[in-house]
Structure 1
Amino acid sequence: MNDYTTHLKKEGYATTTIKSNERQVADFTKWCKRNHTTPIEIDYKTCLKYIKHLTRKGNSKRTINHKLGSLKNYFKYLISESYRLDNPIEDTNIKGVRRTLNHNLLEPEELEDLYYSYQTDTYQEEYHKYTSKRNKIIVGLLVYQGLDTKDLKNLKTEHVQLNKGKIYIPGTKKSNAREIELKPWQMMDFMEYIGEIRSKLLERLQTDTDQLFPSGDRFIIVNAIIKKIRKYNQKVQNAKQIRASVITNWLSQYNLRKTQYLAGHRYISSTERYLQDDLENLHEIVNNYHPIE
C-alpha cells in the first residue's frame, strides 16, 4: 500500500482523495482475502460478486461507482507495475437496470440438435426441397455462428470463403465485421447451395441479386424457420434467444475479447452482459447493476 500511496502522490492527487483511495483498496483487499483471491488475481466475474457485496451493505449506485473508480485507479497502477495484464472493471459503471438476457437459454447440445433435426428430404416438390436446404444452412448460421436476422440479410455470396473454411460477416452501424470459422458439414452444405440451389431459387424468384439468401425487400425467411424448429424444441422463442444462447456458450469456452469479436460487439460491455455464474444466481447483478454500453 505504501508504494501505491507514493504513486498517487506523484500523480498529484489531493490528500483527501489519497486517503479515500487507500480506504477503498484496503476494504477491497480484505474482501478478496475472505474470498480466496487477491487484487492481482481477481477476474471480472469475481468483481461482480464484490459489487453485489457492496449493494447488500446498502451502498447507493452513486457510492458504488465512487468505490469502483478508486479500484479502477488501483488496477491501472497494478498494470503499470506489471502485476496485472488487464483492468477487469475498466468498462464497468453502475447505470440502472438492464433487461434480462440470461433467461431460458439453450444449451450447446440443444442448439446443435436444432440443426441436425431440421429435415430437408421430406418434400417431393423440387422448389420446397431447395428452400428447405437453404433454411438448414441458415439454421447452422444461427446456432454455430450466432448470426442475427440483419447479418443474414446482409450476407453476399462473396462472403462465403470456402477456401478458408470461414464466413465473413459485414459490419453494420451497431456491429463490427468479423470472420468466423465454418463447421465442416456447413461447408458441404454451402458448396451444394452456391453451386446449384441458389441459382434455382433466383430463377424461381425471377430476380438477380448478390444476396446470399435472396428474399426481396423483406427478409422473412427466419420467421418460418423459427416456427419450424420450435416443433423440435418448444423452448425456442426467436432468433435473439438463439443468439444470446450462442454468445453465452462462447463465454464458457473463450475469453471476453474473443467472444466480443465473434459476436461482432463494438463494446466489451455488450459482451459482458452475457456473463453467467451459477453461484448465488449471479445474473441478478448482471441484470440490475451492469454497465450500459
Structure 2
Amino acid sequence: MDFKTYLKQQELSKTTAKMYQYQTMNFISFLDKDNTEPENCTEKEIMLYLAHLQKQGMASETKKLRLIALRHFFNFQIETGKRKNNPTTRIKLQGGQKQKLYPILSPQELQNIYENYTVPKEDDPRSHHNWFTMYKLAKERNKVIIGLLFNQGITTAEVSRITIDSLDLRNGKIDVRGGRTGKDRTLELKSSQIMDLMEYQYTTRNELLKYQAQPTKLLFLSTPPSGQTQVKEPSTLNIYKRLTEELKEQNPKFINFLQVRASVITYWLKKYNLRQVQYFAGHKRIISTEMYLINDIDDLQKEIDNFHPIG
C-alpha cells in the first residue's frame, strides 16, 4: 500500500488527500537536505521543519494543516511497518483559534478516583434506615458505570444505551452503540471489570428490576424517585449530576465526565496510533480525534524549546 492509497482509506476528500500528498513531499524534500530518511525522522526534525515554514512567513493555521498532513504520513508508515511511533503526536502550535481544553487527569488519578468511590457494606452503621437498601444498590451500579467511563472512555449517553445483550463477559468485551454522533464499536474490558459486571448483572440489576414498572433489557437501571415505589421509564440520565458532585468532593481536580473522556483519549494517543484511537473513541471523523492531540504536550514543551521556539 502506498501513501495515496492510505489517504483514500481515511475518508478524506480528493482535494484534501492531494494536498496532504503535496505537503508530505515538501517535507521529504526538506529532510533530503540533511540526508535524513523519513523512517528515521524524530520530533527534532519536525520542529526544525516548522521553524523553516515560520521563517517563510507561513501563518499558524497553515502550519497546523502541514502538521496534520505529517501525522497522516507517519501513521501510514506505522501501518506499513516502517516505524513504530508518530513523532508529530505531541507537538503543539500556538496561535489561531484555540480549543477549550480540560485539565487532563493521569491514569493514576483516574484510578484513585475510581477506587475511592466506596460502596457501603451490609454491616454499615446506616443499614437500619429504610433508604439504605436503595442507596446501596445505586452505589453498586454507579461503581460499575464509573469503571466504564474511566477505562473505556465512553460517553454517559452511550452508557445509557448499553443492554444485557451488549455484554460478552466470556470473551471480556462490550459492544458500544455510538448513536447519532458516534460510531458503534467493540471494546475490551479489564479483568477486574468482568467480575464487577457479572456481579452487577446477576445480583444488583436483578434487585433493581423489582422496582421497574416494565420489562427492560437496559443494563443500568434507575432507582425510584423519592416517595415512589417504581420507575416508569428506566434511565440512568438522572444520576450524573449527583455523581459529579460526589466525585468532586473526593477530588477537587475532577470537573465532569467530559474531562474524564478527554483524559482517557489523551492517554490512548500515547499508546496507539491515531486510527486505533479514533475507533476506541467512536469518532466518525479523524479530525475529532486529532483535536485531543494538543492535550498531550506538558512533558514535551521544554524539549521542544531546546530545538526551536515556535510562536
- TM-score, with normalisation over the residues of structure 1? 0.70
Is the Cα–Cα contact under 8 Å of residues 28 and 38 in structure 2 kept in the other structure? no
Q: Distance in 1 between matches of 2:23 and 2:259?
A: 41
**2:152 counterpart of 1:145:** yes
> Deviation at 1:111?
0.5
Letter aligned with residue 239 of structure 1: F
Q: Secondary structure at the match of 2:138?
A: helix
- The count of aligned residue pairs is 250
CA RMSD of aligned residues (A): 4.0
Is the Cα–Cα contact under 8 Å of residues 114 and 139 in structure 1 kept in the other structure? no
Match of 1:58 in 2: 57
1:29 to 31, 46, 70: 31
1:279 to 287, 300, 303: 300
Q: Secondary structure at the match of 2:103?
A: coil
Q: Secondary structure at the match of 1:163?
A: coil
Between 263-272 and 40-49, report the one with greater CA deviation.
Answer: 40-49
Letter aligned with residue 30 of structure 2: F
Q: Distance in 1 between matches of 2:262 and 2:47?
A: 20
Match of 2:170 in 1: 163
Is the Cα–Cα contact under 8 Å of residues 114 and 229 in structure 1 kept in the other structure? yes
Match of 1:178 in 2: 185
Match of 2:137 in 1: 130
Q: Distance in 1 between matches of 2:65 and 2:134?
A: 62
- TM-score, with normalisation over the residues of structure 2? 0.66
Q: Name the CA shift for 1:66/1:145 in 2 (closer, same or farther; >3 Å).
A: closer
Is the Cα–Cα contact under 8 Å of residues 151 and 170 in structure 1 kept in the other structure? yes
Q: Distance in 1 between matches of 2:172 and 2:134?
A: 28
Match of 1:4 in 2: none
Match of 1:208 in 2: 215
Q: Deviations 1:65-116 (Å, cap 9, x if unpaired)?
A: 89779x77xx69x98xx99689x79xxxx9x624133x41101111111111
Match of 1:270 in 2: 288
> Deviation at 1:281?
7.0
Q: Distance in 1 between matches of 2:67 and 2:271?
A: 28
Match of 2:97 in 1: 97
Match of 1:191 in 2: 198
Q: Distance in 2 between matches of 1:66 and 1:113?
A: 38
1:236 to 254, 270, 287: 254
Is the Cα–Cα contact under 8 Å of residues 163 and 217 in structure 2 kept in the other structure? yes
Letter aligned with residue 201 of structure 1: L
Q: Deviations 1:188-223 (Å, cap 9, x if unpaired)?
A: 111111112112213224342221112436712222
Match of 1:116 in 2: 115
Is the Cα–Cα contact under 8 Å of residues 160 and 236 in structure 2 kept in the other structure? no
Q: Deviations 1:109-157 (Å, cap 9, x if unpaired)?
A: 1111111111111562111111100000011011111111111111111
Q: Which runs of 5+ in 1 are unaligned?
A: 1-19, 284-293
Q: Secondary structure at the match of 1:167?
A: strand
Q: Name the CA shift for 1:268/1:201 in 2 (closer, same or farther; >3 Å).
A: same
Q: Name the CA shift for 1:49/1:272 in 2 (closer, same or farther; >3 Å).
A: farther
Q: Distance in 2 between matches of 1:45 and 1:58?
A: 20
Letter aligned with residue 261 of structure 2: R
Q: Name the CA shift for 1:145/1:111 in 2 (closer, same or farther; >3 Å).
A: same
Letter aligned with residue 270 of structure 1: S
Q: Deviations 1:228-279 (Å, cap 9, x if unpaired)?
A: 1112211000000000001111122222222222111222222222222333
Is the Cα–Cα contact under 8 Å of residues 171 and 177 in structure 1 kept in the other structure? yes
Match of 2:277 in 1: 259
